[in-house]
Structure 1
Amino acid sequence: MSSNSQSMSFNAGQAKGQTQEKASNLMDKASNCAQSAKESIQETGQQMKEKAQGASETIKEKTGMKK
């Protein structure tokens, strides 16, 4: 194999490795973003549930249904 051919092969290998690394990093970032969104939605849902329970208790107290 000629020196030029070896150099081109080496450079192609390096480019492939760098591309794979960048893709891996992007996938990690996307996964972290998705996990963060999931946690945020769960937290919001929990807050809404607590507010609804509080509102329900208030209505029961105001209407005399709570005994």
Structure 2
Amino acid sequence: MNNSQSASYNAGQAKGQAEEKSNQLMDKASQAAASAQETAQQAGQQIKAGAQGVADAAKDATGMNK
């Protein structure tokens, strides 16, 4: 193998490794985004439940819940 072929082979190897690393990073980013979305949904549900509790307490206190 001459120098040109060796350089071309090495460039191909580097490109393949860079693509694999890029794919791994994209997978991690996708997983992080999904986790953040799930966390936000859970937080939203907790806030909604808390607000409903406050509303029910206010109705009870004012007699509007009968």
Distance 1:49 1:56 in 2: 10
Unaligned segments of structure 2, at least 5 residues: none
Per-residue CA deviation, residues 21-58 of structure 1 (Å, 9 max, x unaligned), is 01111111111111111111110000000001111111
Equivalent residue, structure 1, for 2:55? 56
Distance 1:5 1:66 in 2: 84
Unaligned segments of structure 1, at least 5 residues: none
Aligned-CA RMSD value:
0.9
Runs of 4+ in 1 over 4 A off after TM superposition: none
Distance 1:66 1:20 in 2: 61
Distance 1:64 1:47 in 2: 25
Q: After the TM superposition, which residues 16-27 of structure 1 pair with which residues of structure 2 at under 5 Å, given as runs?
A: 16-27=15-26
What is the identity percentage for the equivalent residue pairs of Structure 1 and Structure 2? 58
User: Paired residues, what number?
Assistant: 66
